[in-house]
Amino acid sequence: MNGYYLRRCRKRFPVCILLVFVITGVIAFFHGANLSRNVLVSRQSIVSPSPAESVAAQKPIILYLAHGAKMGHPTDIVAKEVSDQFYRLTQGKFLLKVYGDMEFGQESDLINVVQKGKLDLAIVSSGPLAFFNHSVTLLDLPYLFNSGDEAFSAWDGPPGQFIMDSLKTSGFEGVCFWENGLRSITTRNRPVKFPSDLYGLKIRVMQNPIHISFFKKIGAKPTPLPWGEVFPTLKAGIIDAQENPIPIIYYYHLEKYQQYLILTRHCYNPHIVIAGFALQQKLTLDERNLLFSCFKDARIRQRRLVTQQTDQYLQLLQAKGMKIIEPELSQFRKIGREFSKEALNNYDLEARSLFEGYLK
């Protein structure tokens, strides 16, 4: 009997040995895999991502900017360039979305929503901004500057800084001055050579007391309207004329409604970059300074584009059949500068001291 069991054990012994080796190998395999995984995790914890990689992995913080210019206008072109630059400089942390062509409303609407903190930045002309801050009207004094370079020097110097500082009392802050362009007059069917030719002319002007008073002084009948209401009134014949920079006249196809373009060049008109105080909650001081520097650095390119488009589009408007008139500019300048000297008396002493030198 014992011999029987001994023989059976001898037959099964190799199988048992094999099972022992198999079980031992399986245990060793899983133990090794677990060890490798632990080592990999340890290495990942030691090699942490760089700050740039961490920022890039996050979704960018969205900022919003709106303006009223058409796509292709220098303000639209350069605002989008600033957006790209700020995105790169912050390594994708911020994305500035740019909306143009009055997508967010009229310029006065843009100023309101910036003031209320619902829009981060806006680029607007001086006309509607005058309702929020009286000092801005200084920039619309007719024939205040003798050249574009003189205007830019004032905007970027103490006179412009005076305006920027005054904006802080209006619920937002000024960043810098871009350019809208040198304003001239268009008329439906009246050629204008002398100031007296404007007598009784119903002309759309910006909602700005300086523009209204100046055209009244010349003898015209100024009609202040927001830009969005101009075309229905032109089509209906309610107004006979309007005034704007050449690029605006071109982009909005005013040659369809206006036969004459009179190059009065009566006002160097800025586009003003403004920022709401709510932006201070989204950006650190250094980040805000970086963003504002991007806008300031872009001034030269934006103004250069305005000059280029003014020359180019003047020729194109003429090619489309618009009749270009060079008026007796000395007469317009004389009336305009006399008006500006009188109007300057309505400002405080600091304002007068900063601007009166341009009218001598």
**What is the average pLDDT value for the chain, to the nearest integer?**
88
Q: How many CA atoms lie within 13 A of 257 on its CB side?
A: 21
- Token pair listed for 267: 């006002």
b/e map 111-142, b = 16+ CB within 10 Å: bbbbbeeebbbbbbbbbbbbbbbebbbbbbbb
At 85-96, the pLDDT tens digits run 999 999 999 999
124 contacts 111 by C-beta, under 8 angstroms: yes
pLDDT at 280 over 50: yes
> Under a CB-based contact definition with an 8 Å cutoff, are residues 276 and 114 in contact?
yes
In a domain, 38, yes or no: no
The CA R_g of the chain, rounded to the nearest whole Å, is: 34
Number of other residues whose CB lies within 10 A of the CB of residue 153: 14
Structure tokens at 178: 């871009």
Helix (H) or strand (E) holding 262: strand 260-276
Q: Residue 122 is which amino acid? A: A
Query: Does residue 264 sit in helix, strand or coil?
Result: strand
Query: Is position 305 within any domain?
Result: yes
At residue 50, the pLDDT reads 52
| Cβ atoms within 10 Å, residue 347 | 18
Give the pTM: 0.84
With cut-offs at 50, 70 and 90, classify the pLDDT of residue 228. confident
Question: Residue 99 falls within a domain, yes or no?
Answer: yes
Residues 260-277: pLDDT tens digits?
999 999 999 999 999 999
CATH of the domain at 101: 3.40.190.170
**pLDDT > 70? residue 356:** yes
Residue 21 lies in a domain: no
* Domain around 122: 57-359
Virtual torsion, Cα 15, 17, 23, 24, nearest 10 deg: -160
Say which residues have a Cβ less than 8 Å from residue 88's Cβ, sequence separation at least 6.
none
pLDDT of residue 70: 95
Domain assignment of residue 49, yes or no: no
The verdict on residue 200 lying in a domain is yes
The count of structural domains within the chain is 1
Please choose, from the candidates 5, 299, 353, the residue with its C-alpha nearest in 3D space to the C-alpha of residue 159.
353
Partner residues linked to 260 by β-bridges:
187, 323
117-155, pLDDT tens digit by residue?
999 999 999 999 999 999 999 999 999 999 999 999 999
Ramachandran angles phi, psi of 173, nearest 5°: -125, 150
CA torsion through residues 69, 70, 71, 75, sign: negative
* C-alpha pair distances (Å), 30 with each of 17, 20, 24: 21, 16, 10
Residue 124 resides in a domain: yes
In a domain, 22, yes or no: no
Question: Residue 47: pLDDT above 50?
Answer: no
Find the mean pLDDT for residues 322-348: 98
**Burial category of 332 from C-beta neighbours within 10 Å (exposed 0-12, middle 13-18, buried 19 and up):** buried
180 contacts 140 by C-beta, under 8 angstroms: no
Q: Which of 128, 134, 144 has its CA nearest to residue 167?
A: 134
pLDDT at 23: 41
